Chains A and B, each alone.
Chain A
Amino acid sequence: MRCFIIIITLFTFYNSMIAQNEAFQTHVNILQLDELKNKIFESREPYKIVFIFNQFCSASRDVFPELDELYKKAHKENFELFVVTNTKEKNKEELEDHLFYYGYGEPFYILKDKPLLGFLKKTIQSICESCNANEMGYSSFMVFNENNEVLEQTNYNQTKEEIISTLKKYIQ
Chain B
Amino acid sequence: MKKITYLFYLLTLSVFSQSQYVYNFKNSDSLDSYIQKNNLVFHPEDIYITKDFESFKAHTQTSFFASPIIFVFNKEGKYLESIDNISSERKLSNFKRIRKKTDKDQPSLEFLTEKIAHYNSGEVFEDKHLYTYTFVINWMLVSGEQKPIIIKLLNEWYGVLLRQKRAGENIKIILLNIDVQDHWGLSQTWRGYVLENLNRSSDK
Contact = CB atoms under 8 A, between A and B. Distances in A.
Interface stretch (B119-127, B143-151, B155-163): B155-163
A23 B89 contact: no
Contact of B89 (A21, A93, A98): A98
Interface in A92-115: 93, 97-98, 100-103
A98 B94 CA distance: 9
A100 B166 contact: no
A93 B156 CA distance: 19
A100 B159 contact: no
Among A21, A22, A100, the one with the most B-chain Cβ atoms within 10 Å of its Cβ is: A100
B168 interface: yes
18 contacts: A22-B166, A23-B163, A23-B166, A24-B163, A24-B166, A97-B90, A98-B89, A98-B93, A100-B93, A100-B160, A101-B88, A101-B89, A101-B156, A101-B160, A102-B156, A102-B160, A103-B159, A103-B160
Contacts of A98: 89, 93
B98 to A, nearest CB: 13
B167 interface: yes
A23 B166 CA distance: 5
Nearest to B168: A23
A96 to B, nearest CB: 8
Contacts of A100: 93-94, 160, 163
B92 interface: yes
Chain B interface size, as a band, is 10 to 19
Nearest to B160: A101
Interface of A: 21-24, 93, 97-98, 100-103
A24 B93 contact: no
Interface of B: 88-90, 92-94, 156, 159-160, 163, 166-168
Nearest to A102: B156
A98 B93 CA distance: 7
Contacts of B163: 23-24, 100, 103
B149 to A, nearest CB: 14
Contacts of B89: 97-98, 101
A21 B166 contact: yes
Given A101-B156, A102-B156, A103-B159, A23 B93 contact: no
| 10 cross-chain pairs, A with B, having the tightest CB-CB distances, nearest first | A97-B93, A101-B93, A24-B163, A100-B93, A23-B166, A23-B167, A101-B89, A97-B94, A101-B160, A103-B159
B32 to A, nearest CB: 20
B164 to A, nearest CB: 8
A97 B93 CA distance: 5
Nearest to B90: A97
Contacts of A24: 163, 166-167
A23 B88 CA distance: 20
Among B89, B90, B159, the one with the most A-chain Cβ atoms within 10 Å of its Cβ is: B89
A24 to B, nearest CB: 4
Contacts of A21: 166
Given A101-B92, A101-B93, 7 more contacts: A22-B166, A23-B166, A93-B94, A98-B89, A100-B93, A102-B160, A103-B163
Among A22, A23, A98, the one with the most B-chain Cβ atoms within 10 Å of its Cβ is: A23
